[in-house]
Amino acid sequence: ILGFSTPPGRLSMMAFILNALTCALGLLYFIRRGKQCLDFTVTVHFFHLLGCWVYNSRFPSTLTWWLVHIVCTALMAAIGEYLCMRIELREIPLNSAPKSNV
């Protein structure tokens, strides 16, 4: 069903890309470490590959399927790492005031 020539194919590809963007936000919320984003992204897409393989009873062999998933993996990892790095590189507030009034 994935393909550029049919409207359902384009809609499916857009859904995969939007899923990659929302999963990048999930990496920010759950992982919060830039170094681990690629690992978790590849793991999620690997489990998706296994699920597709079991569900269809055959290994995915179409070029468009592989291209869409490679692009979505790269997009999810890059955006997730960018968002996590922004959180990691925030300045740590250093207050010289005491924490409590004793």
| Residue 39, domain extent | 9-87
Secondary element (H or E) of residue 41:
helix 37-56
Domain count, the chain: 1
Domain membership of residue 101 (yes or no) is no
The answer to whether 43 touches 52, Cβ cutoff 8 Å, is: no
What is the tens place of the pLDDT at every residue in 2-48?
777 888 888 988 999 999 999 999 998 998 888 899 999 999 999 99
Domain membership of residue 94 (yes or no) is no
SS3 91: coil
Q: Which of 43, 54, 47 is nearest to 77 (CA)?
A: 43
Residue with tokens 């010289």: 96
Domain membership of residue 96 (yes or no) is no
- Whether the pLDDT of residue 99 is over 90: the answer is no
Give the separation between CA 58 and CA 15, rounded to whole angstroms.
Answer: 23
Domain membership of residue 102 (yes or no) is no
What is the tens place of the pLDDT at every residue in 41-87?
999 999 999 999 999 999 998 888 899 999 999 999 999 999 999 98
Domain membership of residue 27 (yes or no) is yes
The answer to whether 20 touches 76, Cβ cutoff 8 Å, is: yes
**Rounded to two decimals, what is the model's pTM?**
0.80
Domain membership of residue 93 (yes or no) is no
Give the separation between CA 42 and CA 48, rounded to whole angstroms.
Answer: 10
